[in-house]
Amino acid sequence: MFDVIIAGGGPTGMMLAGELRLHGVNVVVLDREMEPTKQVRALGMHARSIEVLDQRGLVEPFLTIGKTYPVGSFYAGIGAKRPVQLDTTHPYTLGIPQTTTERLLTEHAIALGAEIRRGCEVVGVSQDDEGVTAELADGTQLRSRYLVGCDGGRSTVRKLLGIGFPGEPAHHEWLLGEMEVTMPAEELTAVVTEIRKTNLWVGAGPSGNDDLWRVVVPAEVVAEDRAVPPTLEEMKQQLQRYAGTDFGIHSPRWLSRFGDATRLAERYRVGRVLLAGDSAHVHPPLGGQGLNLGIQDAFNLGWKLAAAVAGWAPEDLLDSYQTERHAVAAEVLENTTVQGELMSTDRGPQAVRRLITELLDIEGVHRFLIEKITGLGIRYDFGAGPELLGRRMRDIELKDGQLYARMHEGRGLLLDQGGRLSVEGWADRVDHVVDVSEELEVPAALLRPDGHVAWVGEDQQDLRTHLTKWFGAAG
């Protein structure tokens, strides 16, 4: 019997597997595909996701392979006159293909002891007071204490649970793929630049994958089954329609479709079964938020689920996953909807777009919108308290090194500048770091394993109350 079954081996599932293994959880990842996907849906990572990797000591391989870009503006494709100054040690966007991100996270999970089984499709889920039974397509069954559906927007797990997925169906669709082109690169780039002056939904650029180009163009209609990829001829026809040329595209490595459906699961948990990533939310890819949202779901859930497996989780800790992440996803769905409206060629949205373009020249407005997209602006509702409460702590410099270097094991952390506090009774779950930082204006801060500030102050009894709230009864 496993502690946790993860259905789906994409970035969300692999991030979650790694987080669980940090705490010794016996986890298996089941993926229905025999091989990792070659489709590159996401092209980069935002600052908060890079921080997440840094908190676990994983960031260097990503930075070595990827390419960093200053954060200008990616809100509805509106260009900014200058980069925005972000409160992070990673103030950039990391260009890295989703396939590479998935590979690195998989290698990390395996190195920690996660079991990965490919060609295993979950077709049935049942649960009782003791655990969950997953039925596979080959008729075999696996048993676990918990199961997490990370199996994408068409999630089988979500459907088996009967969880509602309200929202808006796709009204528009786009064709996407990686392929070779015969048109000279300089000419192709000039054509695309001209088209994008009036239509931001057409694009083509080097994929970074061999000599292939990544091409996107609106589809003629919304397909009845988006799982069926378009043909090369269909893509050529749409490029001729919108660009007046098909760029000489040929030899596609892969072709796919995506739409602008916007949906959010009514619940993220039913008993011992939970949802994370696209299985819990889908939205248009505006601002490049999808992969990042899923990785951050896993980062929020991992330590909480591990605590439930270990038996020390407070009664409502696992439910706080839905409370916190459902609200974040709702905001993402809202801002992608706004961006979609701003990218319309209709007269009204274009007038609003011109106004937003002017407002983005105001530093505070620009930062506010970028913090929404990057995840840096997230503040979980922990009740009334200082501004820092509920926010993630950036990687501040301590007298003895950096904060994130102390968080690689995925434990809680008390940063105590006065050295007068104690985590006695919780030392198996929370590290006590007595150190000082010129960047921290409070006497002490209690950080959850995901880096969010759960308490600030200097009173020992108040600290004990919050240790109990987040890390269970003293041992």
pLDDT tens digits along 190-231: 999 998 888 888 999 888 777 899 999 999 999 888 778 999
First CA to last CA distance, the chain: 27
Rounded to whole angstroms, how far apart are CA atoms 254 and 324?
A: 36
Q: How far is CA 160 from CA 32, 226, 265, 287, in A?
A: 16, 21, 13, 31
Cβ atoms of 291 and 11 closer than 8 Å: yes
Determine the Cα angle at 93 with ends 92 and 97, to 5°: 150
Beta partners for 398? 401
pLDDT over 80 at 52, yes or no = yes
pLDDT for 72 equals 72
> Distance of alpha carbon 427 from its chain centroid, rounded?
30
Q: What is the pLDDT of residues 102-117, one digit of tens each?
A: 999 999 999 999 999 9
Residue 316: count of CB within 10 angstroms of its CB: 9
Rounded to whole angstroms, how far apart are CA atoms 228 and 16?
A: 29
Rounded to whole angstroms, how far apart are CA atoms 330 and 33?
A: 30
Average pLDDT, the chain: 94
Tell which wins on pLDDT, 350 or 265: 265
Closest C-alpha to 57, from 405, 415, 448:
405
Q: Is 193 left (phi over 0), alpha (psi -120 to 50) or beta?
A: alpha
Tell which wins on pLDDT, 294 or 287: 294
Q: How far is CA 433 from CA 53, 257, 387, 447, in A?
A: 21, 49, 22, 11
pLDDT for 159 equals 97
pLDDT for 196 equals 86
pLDDT for 81 equals 66
Asked: is 397-471 a CATH 3.40.30.120 domain? The reply is yes
Under CATH, which architecture does the 2-167+263-374 domain have?
A: 3-Layer(bba) Sandwich (3.50)
C-alpha dihedral (367, 371, 372, 376), degrees to nearest 10: -160
Of 11-25, 76-90, 261-275, the least confident? 76-90
Phi, psi angles (nearest 5°) of residue 352: -65, -40
Q: What is the pLDDT of residues 396-443, one digit of tens each?
A: 999 999 999 999 999 999 999 999 999 999 999 999 999 999 999 999
Q: Taking residues 133-160, report their average pLDDT.
A: 97
pLDDT for 201 equals 85
Question: What pLDDT band is residue 120 in, cutting at 50, 70 and 90?
Answer: very high
Locate the domains of the chain by residue range.
Answer: 2-167+263-374, 172-259, 397-471
Asked: is 172-259 a CATH 3.40.1650.10 domain? The reply is no
Tell which wins on pLDDT, 36 or 20: 20
Cβ atoms of 395 and 404 closer than 8 Å: yes
pLDDT for 395 equals 98
Cβ atoms of 165 and 266 closer than 8 Å: yes
